[in-house]
Amino acid sequence: MGAFVKLIDAILFVFFAAIALAVPLIDAQACLPVNFYPPFLVDLKTWYTDEYGDYLFTEKPHFFVGIMWLQLLFQWPLALVNIFAILTSKSWLNTTCLIYGSSVLTSMAAVLAELMGSGKAKDELITIYCPFMGLAVLAFLRGLVGQSSKTTSFNIGKRPALARKKKA
């Protein structure tokens, strides 16, 4: 189980690292003024929207802009915290992964429902967004898995031996 959790952590680390870069540099352009960004980043986002037909970035529907704010203010900091937790083997990684996974899962459900239901999205665009739904599920499941049986010990209903009173 330990090697499997390490593999999941490695996969999550790669996704979190990509998110740590993409959210403030690319995704936040949907909710922040364009003049905050250097021209090469604006051109990169424009190339992406033209190449893959990502109408959500060009049309900027209100729900999508709201999700981008959620991503920038909540999910991005959690991704950074999760990178730190993976690198330093923090015990609270489960909690932050569970929070991150549930937030991204909810966001991606709305985005994918729009992409599939609108009829505007190319298949390529849907295949770009789908791995992030997988990331959300993986992070959520990682949050449900304990660190290891050695580090988790429950003494529910038991008092330590030294704290017990001896009867005469």
Query: How confident is the model at residue 130, as a pLDDT?
Result: 95
The DSSP secondary structure of 56-68, one letter per residue, reads HHHH--HHHHHHH
Distance CA 83, CA 147 (A): 16
Residue 113 is predicted with a pLDDT of 96
Cα dist. 126→1, 16, 27, 49, 56 in Å?
33, 20, 16, 13, 12
What integer pLDDT is reported at residue 117 of this predicted model?
95
**Which of helix, strand or coil describes residue 92?**
coil
Residues of the chain with pLDDT under 70: 147-168
pLDDT 10s digits, 52-63: 999 999 999 999
Q: What local confidence, expressed as pLDDT, does residue 159 receive?
A: 52
pLDDT of residue 150: 45
pLDDT in tens, 110-125: 999 999 999 999 999 9
Q: Is-contact 147 20, C-beta < 8 A?
A: no
Q: What is the pLDDT of residue 129?
A: 95
